[in-house]
Amino acid sequence: MGRIALNDIRKSFGKTEVIHGVDLAVEDGELVVFVGPSGCGKSTLLRLIAGLDRPTSGTIEIDGADVTRHSAANRGLAMVFQSYALYPHMTVRQNLSFGLENTKMERAEIRRRIEDSARMLEIEELLDRRPTQLSGGQRQRVAIGRAIVREPSAFLLDEPLSNLDAELRVTMRAELAQLHERLGTTMIYVTHDQIEAMTLADRIVVLRKGRIEQVDTPLNLYNRPANLFVAGFIGAPN
């Protein structure tokens, strides 16, 4: 569960192609980071994987099944954005359960999932509060909790920490790494922050202008960058 393959993915908006033929296989349980400058296509690729948008051509597979035409709801993935997008009029508990209540899931199962994820994220004490009564870091934990309760086959995170201050970002980065270790669920993590990429990733995908420049482990990218762009972006000596 959680293997994601992109086969020659292209995406145009109007007449402008912004993703120019991307091939990638993310293995089950892997934490892959998409990194690259603003506008290189990171969010677009993630939205295509999530099913929030459709590729102009190419196919997307999850666990070997072609899901290119499947809606977001039918892909079994969970997305976390940089804006917390919590419902301000609902409690934390209601924010966590939102969407699950419309399914056939038993109430006891919903409660179990909320309690498990709250414990994991150390937000048990906050379940009856509203988002306005939370700090930035607590809100981001709730946003991650909302993804966890879905028990997705993969998490898609689009610059989830970029609204937080530098200190909190370091803390949350470590927490996300722990979470990934504990859950063992595939994660695709988008950032323009090289340090975040180097510290979190099993493998880094370096994007530039809608193309993959290089895919490798942080160490190999650092030691053997394919070109000057990768070297410059990863921060290798030259």
Do 172 and 121 touch, CB atoms closer than 8 A? no
Name the residues that contact ligand ADP, by CB under 6 A. Answer: 13, 18, 36, 38-44
Residue 168, binding choice from Mg ion, ligand ADP, none, Cβ under 5 to 8 Å by partner class: none
191 binds Mg ion (CB under 5 A): no
Task: Closer to ligand ADP by CB, 2 or 41: give it.
Answer: 41
* Residue 40 site contact among Mg ion, ligand ADP, none (CB < 5 to 8 Å, cut-off depends on kind): ligand ADP
In the complex with Mg ion, the residue whose CB is nearer, 37 or 99, is 37
Binding-site partner at residue 44 among Mg ion, ligand ADP, none, CB < 5 to 8 Å by type? ligand ADP
Strands (E), 4-161: 4-13, 16-26, 31-35, 57-62, 65-66, 77-80, 154-158
- Would you say 35 or 144 has its CB closer to ligand ADP? 35
Residue 43 engages Mg ion in binding (rule: CB under 5 A) = yes
Alpha helices in the chain (DSSP H): 42-50, 92-97, 107-121, 136-148, 166-183, 194-200, 218-223, 228-234
* Closest C-alpha to 16, from 214, 212, 213, 209: 209
The nearer residue to ligand ADP, 16 or 71, going by C-beta atoms, is: 16
Q: Does 82 bind Mg ion (CB under 5 A)?
A: no
The verdict on 44 binding Mg ion (CB under 5 A) reads no
Q: Taking Cα atoms as reference points, which of 171, 185, 109 lies closest to residue 140? A: 171
* CA torsion through residues 82, 209, 155, 56, sign: positive
Structure tokens given for 136: 């930035």
Length of the chain: 238
Residue 1 contacts which entry, ligand ADP, Mg ion, none (Cβ below 5-8 A, type-dependent): none
Comparison of 14 and 64: residue with beta carbon closer to ligand ADP:
14
Adjacent-strand bridge partners of 59: 7
22 binds, among Mg ion, ligand ADP, none (CB under 5 to 8 A by kind): none
Residues binding Mg ion (CB under 5 A): 43
